[in-house]
Amino acid sequence: MLNIASGDLDLELACFLFSCCRRARSLHGPSPTTTFGPKACIQKNPASIMHVQDPLSQRLTWNKPPLSVLIIKKIHECSVVQPFMDLVTWLVQEKRMVVYVEVSTLEDEMIADDSGFQPIKQKLNTFKEGTEDLSGRVDFIICLGGDGTLLWASSLFQGSVPPVMAFHMGSLGFLTPFEFDNFKSQVNHVLEGHAALTLRSRLKCVITDAECDSHINSIEKPKKIQVLNEVVIDRGPSPYLCHLDLYLEGRHVTSVQGDGLIVSTPTGSTAYAVAAGASMVHPNVPAIMVTPICPHSLSFRPIVVPAGVEIKVMVSPESRGSAWVSLDGRNRQEIKVGDSVRITTSEFPIPSICKLDQISDWFDSLAECLHWNVRRPQRAFNNNDGANGRVKDDSDCSIEA
């Protein structure tokens, strides 16, 4: 039911519109031409899935009115219970929507013991993780909690993901821009299709065995796991250095000797990766970040590679021990010598609904959550003394209160 207006115009019409109404701002410059001179051009690739789109054109629109919603609530958090019940009651009674919740959510003691909520509870559709596929049944998602609720929503949808509206009711809230105070007007605004979208790219990961090149635990886990933040390969409980071989597009790039390696999306660049020294990258940038964890080398700096490349991280044959891999902090498992993790950008991003727009939301989160570039401002010169080149001596100074 989701569609994003892509604005596929030919080059002449695009140039005409640009000259008539220049945009105020954009994260991307104009798309480069694919023809070079009278006879040269870029070879077309029918398998291409990447398309860099002007973020300002990424607006939510509904082909049909949304009728179903998935509510994800932060667990073990008493302060979220009453807002959860208020939201569900309003969606069921006033908006007449089909509401999906997890079975574990309704098992919360405060929800189970609330007699006034029981009539609403009987109208809810429940599911358990790993036992039911919600694809095609949920029109959009509402998260109540912190950033972990958005990561949980990502894990529930291994294919196409409905739009996600995240309310800040957790600890950090970098990915949750909405406040719950006026939730009715904000949800109505989204249901009417008036919202900007940030397409948060995900990573598609496959863990392979060294001996038979088959998927590890393929019976219990999906063959391709979608990751929103990062893939972490570390030494786990081993006292030895983690020795990993890093490949890009089949080419051996370098060997990693240290505590491990982080392969992250732009969304994940402000999570574990930034703590390990990586740059913070806007989620609209098509890229993958590769960041070492405590490398035993003074020259191993974090790198950024194009989103379309395939990365392979293999436990080196020369490694003294095994390594451990975790995907968005979950599905942690041991990988032995010769085992590898193949990573590339997924074709299924997370359409995250913006409170304002893609630019404002991100910089607001940097300022409020990470206190980016916070410092005391430098004071101006008094009486233009500094501007005239005069240096004050001690007699010019006074003690400030």
Q: Amino acid identity of 113?
A: D
Q: Which residues of 199-213 are buried (b: 16+ CB within 10 A; e: fewer)?
A: bbbbbbbbbbbeeee
Phi and psi (nearest 5°) for 103? -60, -40
Give the whole-angstrom CA distance, residue 118 versus residue 105: 14
| DSSP element (H, E) containing 87 | helix 81-93
Give the whole-angstrom CA distance, residue 211 versus residue 339: 8
With vertex at residue 8, the alpha carbon angle to CA 6 and CA 48, rounded to the nearest 5 degrees, is 80
Distances (CA, A) of 298 to 262, 301, 361: 17, 8, 35
Give the whole-angstrom CA distance, residue 40 versus residue 42: 7
CB-based contact 102:125 (threshold 8 Å): no
DSSP 2-48: EEE------HHHHHHHHHHS--S--SS-PPPPSEETTTEEPPP-TT-
Residues, the chain, total? Answer: 401
Instruction: Please list, in sequence order, all residues whose beta carbon lies within 8 angstroms of the beta carbon of residue 233, skipping any fewer than 6 positions away.
Output: 242, 244, 260, 261, 263, 313, 323, 324, 325, 335, 341
Catalytic residues: 147
